[in-house]
Amino acid sequence: MKANVMQQKRCNRYMFIVLACVFALNLACKNEGDMAKQKVDTPTKVIEKNDINRVEPLNWWVGFKNPKLQLLVHHPNIFQTTPEISCQGVSIEKVHKADSPNYLFIDLNIAKTTTPGKFNIIFKKEGEADLIHTYELKSRKKPAEDFKGFTSSDAVYLITPDRFSNGNPNNDIVNSLKEKSIDRTNGYARHGGDIVGITNHLDYIDDMGFTAVWSCPVLTNDMPQSSYHGYAITDYYQIDPRYGTLNDYINLSEALSKRGMKLIMDQVANHCGIAHWWMKDLPFKDWINHQENYEKNINNWNNSKSITTNHRRTTNQDIYASKRDKENMSVGWFVSVMPDLNQRNPFMATYTIQNSIWWIETANLGGIRQDTYPYPDKDFMSQWAGEIMHEYPNFSIVGEEWSYNPLLIGYWQTGANNRDGYESNLKSPMDFAMQRFIVEALNEEEQWDTGLVKMYEGLANDFYYATPKDIMIFPDNHDMSRIFTQLHGNVVNTKMALSYLLTLPRIPQVYYGTEILMHDFDNPGDHGLIRSDFPGGWKGDKVNAFTGQGLKPDQKHMQSFLRKLLNYRKESKAIHNGKTIHFAPENGVYVLFRIADGETVVHILNKNSSTVKLDLYRFNEIGLNGKTLKNIITGENIKWTDSITLTEKGSIILTTKFN
């Protein structure tokens, strides 16, 4: 009996101990849970440090469809360290070492629930002090769907910023950069134009009727000479200090947005400048094309050592192209001082895509113009454009395809029925073909197969394009002779060219100074001359195109002509998205109609110097008989009846819209 009592006491004691342990364990778990909850609810204060030379992208955002982010880390012997992160919602998926010991590439995953804020990346190495870099995830200022790209309702003003206006003379010379001089008499030197200069003259650009500004690249080009154009980038995350600051660029974008206008950024995925910071320490053996050749000749580099592209862009589509020609086109350097980037390297590909997205978010962009579009790896370009458009479904990208063959232009547009199955994801190629047709049509004598028929047949090529209205048309740009030069100084023909392209189913782009007949007659095709200073952009200029002071009569008339046409176009649904009907040229007269929502725009091109009568019965299918139309430029009204008498050569633009 006594033994049974003792046994019962022992069992009770054991039960008490077990229950006590369970209680203590539950209490500990509860306290741990409460502590964990407290850690989530109360963000840990981050002590900011920046021990690492370079981490790119400079920051990122929460809320992207793609949760992945790859950081490029550059620091002496960083490969010996192990990075760690303590941030809820952010995890390191993988760390990649490069061929150079001075790089790490860190793959992060950013969960949808991640809150914006700063956190530290700690680089640990046994026996040495930790290296710390503070990184920030920002909240996005607006939904991705609200990034609206340019469309056929826009008219784009292209500017070479160094040559437009010097808004801040204090940044003309930056002693830390290689080129340290200003010389406005030298077409290939820097002249001092900057971002503030553009912002200062938005009243003028807006008043002219433009709705978007495309500036040639404004990122740092720290080259020894002749890099004012911006296409030899040496830092993809820095505004060139001679153009201003990142805040200046953001301010320009915000000022445009307040006016309902858009900022288009010129980007370069194909090549960088040879003085780019990574050229002294390339992360991988295949970071650039022909890297072995460059590294072998780096100490005596010159034009003869460079393996440059053959520029045979047709190899992208040519079913008969040799492997050698294909490779020479896409792998060769653009020029000897602009190394070709190797987008087949997955780290380079990711870097380039993330850089574009970074600028869209940072500067609230309304579009990207991508330079030398057919030169990089075309599968990468499809990926690049596709990932951007996936994140920003209403965005716009225009790619430079300098080809006069509509088949090649159409190949690059999204939705094209390409037999090789290629899908570019590119909304807008550039219409170099139509630009040439316009110039030839106006310069040639009228015959069966020359003259205005070139325009007519050029526009007829639209049957091939997936969406013609999304193609960008232009009279000239920063790389070709001014349209006034191409048309041999003929003012009337220049007006005809501009009025025609501004009424086409296209997105029009006009280069700064075209409105005042800037030219390059002294040395046609010379880039320095093509990109001359806009008069009035510098203090002390005797001629000021912004105010009209000192302009010649022809310049004032052209400026007024374009202003009236552009401002009408701004509100014309018929021009933006209307149906297009044109009639084959007859007797030196070509007529085109744009029709939508009760509005009809009539464009008449007349190459006759003597009086001619235009029979209107030919156009009965348009349904204008008996209606009154207004001349967009002169404001005069005409009755659409039997005929119109054309008394002089030129263009006439009529509309049924009176308000």
Q: pLDDT tens-digit profile of 275-309?
A: 999 999 999 999 999 999 999 999 999 999 999 99
How far is residue 51's CA from residue 187's CA, in Å, rounded to a whole number?
A: 42
Mean pLDDT within 613-639: 97
3-state DSSP call for residue 582? strand
Whether residue 518 is found in the same domain as residue 590 = no
Co-location of 272 and 316 in the same domain: yes
Secondary structure letter of residue 562 according to DSSP? H
- Whether residue 290 is contained in a domain is answered as no
Active-site residue, 145 included: no
Of 461, 437, 434, which is closest to residue 449 (Cα–Cα)? 437
Q: What is the CATH number of the domain that holds 132?
A: 2.60.40.10
Residues 225 and 127 reside in one and the same domain? no
Instruction: Note whether 527 and 587 are same-domain residues.
Output: no
Mean pLDDT to the nearest integer, 494-502:
98
Residue 365 lies in a domain: yes
Residues 6 or more apart whose CB falls under 8 angstroms from that of 453 comprise: 441, 584, 585
- Looking at residue 473, its pLDDT comes to 98
- At 582, give phi and psi (nearest 5°): -130, 155
Domain identity same for 583 and 487? no
What per-residue confidence (pLDDT) applies to 44? 59
Q: Looking at the 3D structure of the chain, how many domains does it have? A: 3
Do 538 and 613 lie in a common domain? no
CATH number where 178 lies: 3.20.20.80
Give the percent of the chain with pLDDT over 90: 93
Question: Residues 622, 628, 632, 634: is their CA dihedral positive or negative?
Answer: positive
- What is the extent of the structural domain holding 608? 575-655
**Nearest-angstrom CA–CA distance, 639 and 37:** 79
Model confidence at 659, in pLDDT bands (50, 70, 90)?
confident
Q: How confident is the model at residue 152 (pLDDT cuts 50, 70, 90)?
A: very high
Residue 3 in any domain: the answer is no
* Residues 354 and 491 placed together within one structural domain of the fold: yes
Burial code of 428-438, b = ≥16 C-beta within 10 A, e = fewer?
bbbbbbbbebb
Residue 40 lies in a domain: no
Asked if 401 and 455 sit in the same domain, the reply is yes
**459 and 422 share one domain:** yes
Catalytic residue among 154, 206, 248, 400: 400
For 50-66, the pLDDT digits (tens) are 999 999 999 999 999 99
pTM of the model: 0.93
Alpha-carbon dihedral angle through residues 441, 523, 398, 537, given to the nearest 10 degrees: -120
Average pLDDT over residues 354-375: 98
**In terms of domains, do 85 and 178 share one?**
no
- 371 given a catalytic annotation: yes
Q: In this structure, what token pair is assigned to residue 644?
A: 């119109």
pLDDT per residue over 551-587, tens digit each?
999 999 999 999 999 999 999 999 999 999 999 999 9
Per-residue CA distances from 55 to 8, 75, 102 (Å):
69, 9, 12
Q: Rounded to the nearest 5 degrees, what angle is found at the Cα of 374, between the Cα atoms of 217 and 497?
A: 70
**Which of 552, 573, 594 lies at the terminal end of a domain, its last residue?**
573
If you average pLDDT over every residue of the chain, what do you get? Answer: 93
Q: Are 585 and 450 in contact (CB under 8 A)?
A: no
pLDDT in tens, 185-207: 999 999 999 999 999 999 999 99
Q: Do 198 and 260 have their domain in common?
A: yes
pLDDT-derived band at 6 (thresholds 50, 70, 90) equals very low
Looking at the fold, whether 548 and 587 belong to one and the same domain comes out as no
In a domain, 289, yes or no: no
**CATH (domain of 603):** 2.60.40.1180
Catalytic pick from 235, 371, 515, 533?
Answer: 371
